[in-house]
Chain A
C-alpha cells in the first residue's frame, strides 16, 4: 500500500518541482529574494556618516508593473551595496556603513540621508506628490545619482518624471571640468561602463543607447543636484565586482565614479 501511495505522489511532485524551480529562479533573477528586504541589511542600525540609500520609487511608467512590486528600484541589490560600501571605506576617509538602506519617496527619514541612488529610472514614475518631495529633498541639499537606463525610450521615461521634479531646470551634459570628475579621481567620461549583459553579448550598449552620457541638473549656484549615468550600468559593475567574467577595469572605473559622486555630494 505504501508503494502505491508513493507512486501516486511521484508525478504531482515532479510537476510541482518543474514549475517551482524555474519560477524561483526567475524571481531571484529579478531580485526577489523573498521576505522583508530590510532583513538583508547586515547592520540596519549601523551609525556612520555615509549610508548607501536606494530610492524605492513606487510605480512603473505607463502603468507597467515596474515599481515597488516588481522591484526595479532594487536592481543589483544588495551585492552592489556590499561591494561598493566596502570599496568606499577602503579607498577614502569616509566613515561608511556597510550595506545599504532604502526609503520610499514619501518617507520623511529620507531627509536624514543626503545621498540617494535610483536605478532603472527609465521606467520609473513619480506622481506630483513624489516629485515635489524629491524636489524639496534636492533643494535642501540632497544629492541624487541615477543609473542603469539606456536608449531613447528609457530616456523619455526618466525625463518625464524628472521634468515633474524640476520643470524649470534643464538636464545638461556635465563638462569635463566639473569638480564632480575631479574630487578624488580625475575621470574622463568617455568610457561606457556596461551591464552584466556584456559578458554574454560582448556589447557595451543596450537598446539604442550607444553613447554614454554623464548628465546632470544644477542648482542656482552651479552645484550639481542630480548626477545622471545614461546608457551605463554602474550598478552592475559594483554588483559584479567579484564576477570573474566581468571586466575588472570596468568595476574599477565604476568604483571611482561612485567615490567621486559621494565626495562631491559631501563637499558641494
Chain B
C-alpha cells in the first residue's frame, strides 16, 4: 500500500537522501510560495463581496496549499539513494532446514511452507535482479542446488541462525553480496548468538532480511523449558531442582513432573499450569543416593494429543563424589545439643564430625578423630591444620579462649580457604562470649549483641522465615504446605540467644517468636570465598526429645544444615563446566581453579585434564592459565559422540601434587530442536533491524525483492528517484482542489 501511494518502498525513504532535482535555488521555493499565497489573498479580498469571514480564509488556505504543492513539484523533489546494480550482485538466501522446521500445522511443515513461498513469490523476483546463492542451514550453512524436497538436507539437530549468517558473510567477502535473506523459525539454540556475534554481523554492513516461519504460540504444548539443579551433591543428600514449565497459557492444564535415575523414580510431583500464567517454576526434591554418577531425567507428562513431546524431557548429570567432608566442632561445655547434633550425623558417611569438647577447665574430650594425635593440643594453632577441615562450628565458647592468631586463622579459613563457619548460641557463645570484639566480627552475618543477658533459657517457638521456605536446609517435606505444617508442630526450643542487627547480605532462614517480634535464629551470609552462619540456640535438642523416636525431623534438619556448610566447600583444585548437559553442541568447555597449599591462587601450576568419553578414545590436555583471571586454567574438548564424559584434572606445582578434581557432563544429540519450537520472531526482527534489513512475515512478502535492491553493500550505483510524480502528490492536489470546490459550492460562490 505504501509503495502504491509513494512509488517506492519505505526503506528507500529511510535510506535515501531527499533533494530537489531541478537545480533551481531552493531558497526561491518558499519565497515564491509565500508570494503566491499573498497574491491569492489579495485576489480573494478583492472578491470580498462574495467571500467573507472564515470562508474567505478557508478558500485562501486551500488555494495557497495547492500553489505550494505545484511549486514544490516544479522544483522536482527526488530521493538520492544507493541501490544494487542489476545482475551484478548476489543475494544469499539461507533456508532453515533444522528439525524444528519439520513441525507444522494442518499437515504442512514449516519447511514446506517456506520452500513454497520462496519458490513461488521470492526467488523469481530476486533472480531477475540478482544472482541468488541458496543455502540450507541448521548448525552450519551448506549450498543448495534447488528447493526441491529431494535436494534439501536431512533435518539438522540444531539451529545456529547467527553462526550461519556469519559464516555466509565470511565466505562471501570476495563476492558482491548485496543482502542476506534468512528464512527460519528463529529457534536459535546454539546459545552463542549474543551481543558479540550480532556486532560481528553488523560489521559486514550487509542488510539481513528475515522471514519468520511457523506459529508464534503452539496450543496444547508443555515445554520443560529449564531444569536448574546442582551438578554435584553429597551422598544421601537431598537435592532440590527448579523446573521451569512453559505452556500457551490459554487454559488450566494438569501435568506431573517425574525425576528418574535410569529406571528408578526418584521423585514425582503433580503440577497445575494456570491459564494466564505461561511460565511456571516448581521445586522438586529428590535424594542424591549413594556415591556415583546419577543420570537424571526430568520429564513432564504430555498433555492429551500434545504434538511435540520431545520438549517434555530434560536430562542432566549429578556427580555424587565419595569424598567425606570434615567438620570441626569446638564446644565450650558439655550440653545436650552437642550430643543430639552428633547423633544426627552419626550415620552420615559423607560428613565426618570431629569434635573438641571442653569438659572441665583444663580437659578436652575428642570425638570423631582419625588418629590419637589429632587435636591433641586443642584447637589448631596453625592455618594449615585448620584448613584441613571443610567447616568449623563454634559452640558455647568465649572468644578470649582463642588466641588472636587463631582468630585470624578462623577468618582466613572462611575468606581464603572457602570454608564455612557456624556459630551456635550458648551461655558463652556469640555476644555472651565477646565475639563482637573478635577478629571474626566481619565474617558474622549479624551485629552481635553483647553481654551474658543475650542468652535466654526460655522456651521459644520456631518459625520458618520466608527465605527458609525455599531453603533445602529447612526442607522437612518437599510439599511446601506440609513443610510449613511440620515446622509449626515442632516443640519449642529449650533456649535461644538474642542477635543484633542483620548485615545487608544476611539471610534469615529460621526465626523465633518472642511476643510480637520474630527474632532471627538461623542466619547466614557469604563472606569471601566461604560462608558464615549463626544458629542462635543450644536448645534444638527438644526437637528430638519432644517428638516420637521414629520422627526424623531433628536429625533431618541437622544433617541438612551441616551438609549445607560443606556442600560448596572445595579443595585446592576445583573443576567446573558451564553446564552439566550439552544438547547438540559438540564442544565441552571447562575451567579449573587452582590454589596452592595456603589456598592462594596458583598461576604457575601444571594442570592436566583427562577426558574420558563413554565411547571413544581418552584425550589428555595440558591446560593454559587464563590471561585475565588469576589461578584459572581453561580447557575445551571436542565431544562429537553423545554420552557421558568424565573429566579429571590434576594440578602440580613442581614436584608437589596440589590436588585433583573430577566431573561428569552429558552430551546429547537431537534434543535442542524440540525446545522453543514456536517462532522466535523477536530474534529475527532484532537481526533484521540491527543490520538494516527488515523482518517479513511469510504471508506478506510483496515488495521484498524491491526492498532488497536498496542496499549499500555489494556493487551499487547512486540513483535519483523522482518523487514529483508519485500518486500521493496528485492525490493531495486533487484533495485540495476538490475541497475548495466543495466549500465554494456549499457557500454558493462557485
Contact = CB atoms under 8 A, between A and B. Distances in A.
27 contacts: A47-B457, A49-B333, A49-B334, A50-B334, A92-B334, A92-B359, A93-B361, A94-B335, A95-B335, A112-B494, A112-B546, A114-B339, A136-B548, A139-B549, A140-B544, A140-B545, A140-B547, A140-B548, A141-B339, A141-B343, A141-B544, A141-B545, A265-B339, A266-B335, A266-B336, A267-B342, A267-B367
Given A112-B542, A267-B342, A268-B339, A184 B359 contact: yes
A49 B359 contact: no
Contacts of B413: none
B336 A93 contact: no
A-B residue pairs, 7 tightest by C-beta: A139-B549, A47-B457, A93-B333, A266-B334, A111-B545, A140-B549, A49-B335
B342 to A, nearest CB: 7
A122 B340 CA distance: 31
A91 interface: yes
B177 interface: no
Interface centre among B343, B361, B548 (most CB of A within 10 A): B343
Contacts of A262: 334
Interface string A224-252: 00000000000000000000000000000
B367 A95 contact: no
B427 interface: yes
Contacts of B545: 111-112, 114, 140-142
A86 to B, nearest CB: 15
Interface of B: 332-336, 338-340, 342-343, 346-347, 357-361, 363, 365, 367, 427, 457, 494, 538, 541-542, 544-549
A76 B352 CA distance: 43
A136 B334 contact: no
A183 interface: yes
A94 B333 CA distance: 6
Contacts of A92: 334, 359-360
A106 interface: no
B358 A93 contact: yes
Nearest to A141: B544
Contact count band on A: 20 to 34
Given A93-B358, A93-B359, A267 B334 contact: yes
A184 B544 contact: no
A187 interface: no
A267 B357 CA distance: 9
Interface in A68-126: 91-95, 111-112, 114
Given A140-B544, A184-B360, A263 B340 contact: no
Given A267-B357, A267-B365, A114 B334 contact: no
Given A136-B549, A141-B343, A267-B334, 15 more contacts: A49-B333, A111-B545, A111-B546, A112-B545, A114-B339, A140-B545, A140-B547, A141-B340, A141-B544, A184-B363, A221-B343, A266-B335, A266-B336, A266-B338, A267-B342
Interface string A123-149: 000000000000010011110000000
A91 B362 CA distance: 10
A114 B360 contact: no
Contacts of B541: 114, 141
A92 to B, nearest CB: 5
Tell which of A262, A265, A266 has the most Cβ of chain B within 10 Å: A266
A262 B359 CA distance: 11
B452 to A, nearest CB: 12
A141 B541 CA distance: 9
Contact of A183 (B358, B359, B494): B359
A263 B546 contact: no
Contacts of B365: 183-184, 263, 267
B335 to A, nearest CB: 5
Contacts of B546: 111-112
A111 B494 CA distance: 12
Contact of A93 (B332, B544, B547, B549): B332
Nearest to A260: B359
Nearest to A113: B545
Given A47-B457, A221-B347, A267-B365, A114 B336 contact: yes
A259 to B, nearest CB: 9
Contacts of A221: 343, 346-347
B400 to A, nearest CB: 15
A112 B547 CA distance: 11
Contacts of A141: 339-340, 343, 541, 544-545
Interface in A158-216: 183-184
A91 B360 contact: yes
A20 to B, nearest CB: 44
Contacts of B542: 112
Contacts of B427: 95
Nearest to B358: A93
A51 to B, nearest CB: 11
Given A93-B358, A141-B343, A268-B339, A263 B549 contact: no
Contacts of A265: 339
Contacts of B360: 91-93, 184
B340, B544, B545, B547 — most chain A CB neighbours (10 Å):
B545
Contacts of B340: 141
Contacts of B359: 92-93, 183-184, 263
A45 B335 CA distance: 19
A152 B365 CA distance: 37
Nearest to B547: A140
